[in-house]
């Protein structure tokens, strides 16, 4: 996936997390010539792009094992940034240890609770106690920091961390076991946000995803009728998420991903029907479908 840089802003891609996190790894994969900038939270990463301190933000939207990242659905309606691309990052959990420590020496391991849960059976088989931490990469960083502070490998020789290969590289840790997760195929879908998007003309040979936000009108079967236009016009709806916004329980808002491009006649007819039964409609972006979708026949 090639994304053209905008020379008006810094060649920086912002992400939430600590250096070595899977978001950082995604930044390096998609934008190898950009500087990856770590932010404390998702809003900070988005704000960097809004304030032209970064060209892009790499934001996780959902994980094949853990589900959606709920906070992002609360933030997307509040920003005017555009989705210009998507990226699917395979999650390869690695069991990391200090240099010189072997697998059989490890008795405890720290990581994010989701990572620990995804490695539960391997940990149980090896009789390794799980210790919950804030972040995968932070666990690796703290393990390396304890070694540096103690100047002795013995203090932390029985402790490990579960994190990415990038975290191991950055913090000087050894990978004692790769693909440590219990189930293969664990993947995180990221979206790339930018302040503006270059208009992508429709090309027949290219597959596209169009992301839309909307709320329904107060009419009987309004959601059914609003979405019916996509079915009758042959547009595949590949994602539907509902959420409450604005601090009230009065109305539901919806996020849909569609397999199509706004310049397609069938999409235009479907959007016309959506406009009749829905309100506050906003196209978040239309962008090429990632190769992961084609490989797994999502669309």
Helix (H) or strand (E) holding 213: strand 208-216
Asked if residues 109 and 161 have their Cβ atoms less than 8 Å apart, the reply is: yes
Question: For residue 138, what are the contacts with CB-CB under 8 A and spacing of at least 6?
Answer: 18
Q: Answer yes or no: 136 catalytic.
A: no
Q: What angle do CA 37, 39, 42 make, to 5 degrees?
A: 120
Q: Answer yes or no: 56 catalytic.
A: no
Question: For residue 246, what are the contacts with CB-CB under 8 A and spacing of at least 6?
Answer: none
Tokens of 110: 């720290």
Asked if residues 73 and 241 have their Cβ atoms less than 8 Å apart, the reply is: yes
Helix (H) or strand (E) holding 283: strand 278-288
Which residue out of 37, 42, 180, 190 is catalytically annotated? 190
Q: What is the distance between the alpha carbons of residues 293 and 299, in angstroms, rounded to a whole number?
A: 6
Asked if residues 146 and 67 have their Cβ atoms less than 8 Å apart, the reply is: no
- Residue 87: closest CA among 238, 164, 193: 193
Question: For residue 33, what are the contacts with CB-CB under 8 A and spacing of at least 6?
Answer: 5, 11
Which residue out of 56, 136, 180, 188 is catalytically annotated? 188
CA separation, residue 294 to residues 76, 94, 266, 297 (Å): 26, 27, 21, 5
Q: What is the distance between the alpha carbons of residues 169 and 188, in angstroms, rounded to a whole number?
A: 21
- Tokens 């990632």, residue located: 290
Q: Which residues belong to the active site?
A: 188, 190
């Amino acid at each position: 996936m090639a994304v053209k840089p905008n020379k008006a802003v810094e060649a920086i891609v912002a992400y939430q997390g600590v250096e070595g996190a899977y978001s950082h790894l995604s930044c390096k994969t998609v934008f190898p010539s950009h500087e990856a900038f770590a932010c404390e939270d998702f809003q900070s990463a988005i704000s960097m792009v809004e304030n032209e301190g970064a060209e892009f933000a790499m934001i996780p939207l959902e994980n094949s094992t853990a589900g959606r990242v709920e906070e992002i659905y609360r933030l997307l309606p509040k920003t005017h940034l555009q989705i210009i691309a998507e990226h699917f990052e395979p999650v390869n959990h690695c069991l990391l240890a200090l240099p010189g420590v072997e697998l059989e020496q490890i008795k405890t391991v720290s990581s994010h609770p989701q990572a620990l849960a995804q490695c539960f059976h391997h940990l149980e088989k090896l009789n390794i106690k799980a210790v919950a931490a804030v972040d995968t990469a932070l666990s690796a960083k703290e393990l390396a920091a304890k070694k540096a502070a103690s100047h002795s490998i013995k203090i932390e020789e029985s402790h490990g961390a579960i994190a990415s290969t990038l975290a191991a590289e950055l913090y000087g840790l050894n990978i004692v076991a790769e693909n440590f997760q219990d189930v293969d195929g664990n993947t995180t879908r990221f979206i790339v946000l930018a302040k503006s998007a270059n208009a992508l003309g429709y090309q027949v040979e290219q597959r596209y995803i169009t992301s839309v936000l909307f709320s329904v009108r107060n009419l009987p079967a309004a959601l059914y009728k609003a979405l019916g236009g996509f079915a009758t016009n042959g547009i595949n709806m590949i994602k539907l998420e509902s959420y409450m916004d604005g601090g009230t329980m009065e109305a539901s808002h919806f996020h849909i991903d569609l397999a199509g491009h706004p310049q397609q006649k069938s999409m235009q007819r479907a959007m016309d029907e959506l406009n009749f039964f829905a309100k506050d409609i906003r196209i978040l972006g239309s962008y090429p479908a990632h190769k992961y979708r084609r490989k797994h026949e999502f669309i």
